[in-house]
């Protein structure tokens, strides 16, 4: 196994470009083929950038959604994009690299509520969706027909297909359920420390999850919350053994102002890359090895990052963040009498050759 100093030398990132997305976007993802970077907007549009050239030209936006777009999934070849919005609309977009992608199929109300997450199984035949209506739905990718529907007791936040075709669902109470498609429970992973009830406010829960390459280890990200209101909590990463369900490691990744692990990815070299966000202006980019107690790389110059996506070439990645001095509740109107919206710098990093 490569030693940590050599691993850092090999993968220490260097920012080479910033794409300004205005208005703000929720997340940015590379297609599996690496040809485009897409981002879901708070203006109901899907933004696209061409990554086949070094200019990273912005392509025409995809329109037809009604609300915030946070949930994305690509087919394995990257030709189709699935997107779910905060109004419950689900769309299959075809020819995602083309000039004018069209909807192959769509459901105006796939869910009665905000679609939180999407996942596609390994052979690209099934799409899973979860939403605030406490439903897990499985769709045929070919024609959009509903195949299965399950009720989830707690508010589901994250869904991910296991390589064997089963599903993992993380909820607002910090529990991850491993389920067969018919709803049979295989195992539960208890990440309940990521949840607290503060007065009448639920705080925390599972924010993100992923597997290692062999699907032997489950990584769950969230916060160790202290109170509600303006949430104070330590960004926390938990690692579980998939075979036994046992928690193997816990990482505290900052202080009470850093708050949430927003997104994380296992690298083929065995380390985790992740981003955290907290109070306005706070953000971190981290590398963590599962068998070490502290991160071996930390970058704190990013403001409230909320997504991390590696390019399939393994040499670049994108972090969608928030502008410094971002506007929130209680901010005054601008000189023109309009409320000042936020924008998202998408930071592009490269790994030295």
- Check residue 338 and give its pLDDT: 75
What are 285-312's pLDDT values in tens digits? 999 999 999 999 999 999 999 999 999 9
For residue 264, which of 218, 320, 208 has the smallest C-alpha distance? 208
**Can you say how many angstroms the Cα of residue 48 is from the centroid of all Cα atoms in its chain?**
17
Assess if residue 353 is contained within a domain. Answer: no
For residue 14, which of 321, 258, 319, 324 has the smallest C-alpha distance? 319
The two three-digit tokens of residue 241, written as one number: 């053994």
Question: Can you list the residues of the chain whose pLDDT is less than 50?
Answer: none
Q: Give the helix, strand, coil percentages of the chain, each rounded to 5.
A: 5, 50, 50
Task: Select from 88, 122, 151 the last residue of a domain.
Answer: 151
Please give the tally of structural domains in the chain.
2
- Check residue 331 and give its pLDDT: 64
- The CATH number given to whatever domain includes residue 146 is 2.130.10.10
**Both 142 and 213 in a single domain?**
no
The two three-digit tokens of residue 272, written as one number: 């985790």
- Check residue 328 and give its pLDDT: 64
**Prediction pTM value:** 0.95
Assess if residue 182 is contained within a domain. Answer: no
DSSP-derived 3-state class of residue 195: strand
Spatial separation of the C-alpha atoms in residues 275 and 301, rounded to whole Å = 12
- Check residue 304 and give its pLDDT: 96
- Check residue 239 and give its pLDDT: 99
Spatial separation of the C-alpha atoms in residues 186 and 32, rounded to whole Å = 29
Per the omega criterion (within 30 degrees of 0), is the bond before 23 cis?
yes
**Both 49 and 123 in a single domain?**
yes
- Check residue 226 and give its pLDDT: 87
Q: What is the DSSP letter of 182?
A: T
- Check residue 9 and give its pLDDT: 94
Task: Select from 126, 151, 176 the last residue of a domain.
Answer: 151
Spatial separation of the C-alpha atoms in residues 92 and 118, rounded to whole Å = 12
The two three-digit tokens of residue 217, written as one number: 């280890």
Assess if residue 157 is contained within a domain. Answer: no
CA dihedral sign of residues 79, 31, 123, 133: negative
Q: What is the CB neighbour count within 10 angstroms for residue 290?
A: 16
DSSP-derived 3-state class of residue 82: strand
**Both 126 and 238 in a single domain?**
no
Assess if residue 334 is contained within a domain. Answer: no
The two three-digit tokens of residue 4, written as one number: 């940590």
Spatial separation of the C-alpha atoms in residues 276 and 221, rounded to whole Å = 9
**Both 41 and 124 in a single domain?**
yes
Domain ranges, residue 86: 22-151
Assess if residue 241 is contained within a domain. Answer: yes
**What residues contact 6, with CB distance under 8 A and at least 6 apart?**
none
**Both 201 and 142 in a single domain?**
no
> Would you list the DSSP string of 85-118?
ETTS-EEEE--TTSSS--EEEEETTSSSS-EEEE
Assess if residue 201 is contained within a domain. Answer: yes
For residue 207, which of 270, 258, 133 has the smallest C-alpha distance? 258
């Amino acid at each position: 196994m490569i030693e940590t100093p050599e691993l850092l030398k090999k993968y220490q990132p260097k920012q080479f470009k910033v794409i300004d997305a205005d208005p703000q976007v929720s997340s940015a993802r590379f297609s599996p083929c690496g040809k485009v970077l897409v981002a879901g907007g708070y203006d109901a549009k899907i933004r696209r950038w061409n990554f086949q050239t070094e200019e990273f030209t912005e392509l025409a936006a995809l329109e037809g959604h009604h609300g915030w777009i946070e949930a994305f999934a690509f087919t394995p070849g990257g030709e189709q994009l699935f997107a779910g919005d905060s109004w419950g609309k689900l769309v299959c977009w075809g020819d995602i690299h083309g000039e004018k992608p069209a909807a192959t199929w769509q459901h105006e109300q796939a869910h009665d509520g905000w679609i939180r997450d999407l996942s596609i199984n390994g052979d690209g035949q099934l799409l899973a969706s979860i939403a605030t209506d406490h439903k897990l739905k499985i769709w045929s990718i070919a024609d959009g027909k509903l195949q299965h529907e399950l009720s989830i007791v707690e508010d589901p936040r994250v869904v991910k297909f296991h390589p064997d075709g089963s599903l993992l669902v993380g909820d607002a109470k910090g529990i991850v359920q491993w389920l067969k498609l018919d709803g049979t429970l295989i195992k539960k992973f208890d990440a309940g420390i990521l949840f607290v009830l503060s007065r009448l406010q639920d705080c925390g829960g599972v924010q993100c999850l992923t597997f290692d390459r062999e699907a032997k280890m489950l990584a769950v990200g969230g916060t160790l919350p202290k109170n509600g209101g303006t949430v104070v909590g330590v960004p926390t990463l938990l690692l579980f053994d998939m075979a036994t369900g046992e928690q193997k490691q816990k990482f505290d990744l900052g202080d009470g102002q850093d708050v949430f692990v927003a997104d994380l990815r296992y690298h083929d070299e065995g380390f985790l890359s992740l981003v955290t966000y907290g109070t306005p202006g706070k953000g971190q980019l981290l590398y963590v090895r599962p068998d070490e107690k502290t991160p071996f790389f930390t970058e704190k110059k990013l403001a409230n990052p909320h997504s991390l996506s590696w390019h399939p070439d393994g040499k670049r990645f994108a972090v969608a963040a928030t502008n410094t001095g971002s506007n929130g509740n209680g901010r005054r109107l601008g000189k023109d009498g309009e409320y000042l919206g936020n924008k998202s710098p998408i930071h592009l990093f490269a790994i030295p050759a």
